[in-house]
Amino acid sequence: MSSPATPPPPSRRWRSPAVDWRPKARWLVAEIVVVVAGVLIALALDARWQDRQDASQERVYLDQLAADLEVTAKRLEFSETEMRTTMRRASNLLIAFDDPDGADRDSVAEWVAWVVWYQRPGLALGVARSLTSDLSVVSDDSVRTAIFGLLTHADAYRAFDEATFDAFIDYSNQLRPFAPMAARIIRYLGPQDSTLAYYPVLPFETDRRVAYSLDVDSFLRSREAYTVIDGLYDMAADLRAFQSSMLSRVREVQDVLARRGIRGESEGDS
């Protein structure tokens, strides 16, 4: 009996030699990391440069704002002083009405010249208004809030000033029968632009401290004149109070800027 045939050994398949991808993978990852890191560093440097540019631009605007506020504050302070003087002169006149015969004629005429003096300061708020169109320039929320509050108050002040000035013109017109120069004052004031720093209420060739032609006796015995002077006193008092309130708003913004080391230069107001 023959033994079964031995099966042939299985044939071996050819295999490619094993390749180790780990070094190449590490190199690829390292290269990606380098590229990403480079991009991130570039972005960070660009952002830092932009931040510096923004900060520089913000500083320029805030310096200009501080300078404007300094000018505005000086104008309001000067106007407040003028309005206080007007109030004192109006008060003197109201007292003179109680004793027409004992009143000094020259003083009365001088006081009348004062009570038709209407100080109208211009508010230098151009930079503040320009900032509201692009508040992204301002990074400090407290500065933004202060600017908005200032401009809101300034708009109310402007409306009040215009209404008060109309009343001033009306009162001055009523003085014309007693004070001939009142007509010259009104004509001089009428065409002026309300954006000017102030209204010079007497023609340049005169001095408001010098008494001008006035029918003092008729003036001091006129109930209508008394009512006009009383109205001018109230108008000056209201205007001074509103200017004081406006000045307080300006000071608030100045204080906010000062906390950031920004102060307006002490310049003379032209």
- Which tokens go with 67? 């300078």
- Which tokens go with 171? 């009162």
Q: What is the DSSP letter of 177?
A: T
User: CB-based contacts of 219: which residues, under 8 Å, 6+ apart?
Assistant: 108, 112, 178, 179, 225
Q: Are 154 and 246 in contact (CB under 8 A)?
A: yes
pLDDT digits (tens, 9 = 90+) for 24-45: 666 666 677 777 776 677 666 5
pLDDT at position 43 is 64
Q: Are 188 and 116 in contact (CB under 8 A)?
A: no
Could you give phi then psi for residue 265, rounded to 5 degrees?
-75, 145
What number of CA atoms fall less than 13 Å from residue 38's CA on the CB side? 6
- Other beta carbons within 10 angstroms of residue 128's beta carbon come to 23
- Other beta carbons within 10 angstroms of residue 172's beta carbon come to 21
pLDDT of 67 > 60? The answer is yes
Binning pLDDT at 50, 70 and 90, where does residue 164 land?
confident
pLDDT at position 113 is 77
pLDDT at position 69 is 93
Q: What is the DSSP letter of 243?
A: H
Percent of the chain with pLDDT over 90: 23
Domain ranges of the chain: 23-258
Rounded Cα distance between 114 and 178, Å, is 15
pLDDT of 206 > 60? The answer is no
Rounded Cα distance between 174 and 160, Å, is 21
Rounded Cα distance between 121 and 78, Å, is 8
Give me the residue label for tokens 């001055």: 172
pLDDT at position 96 is 95
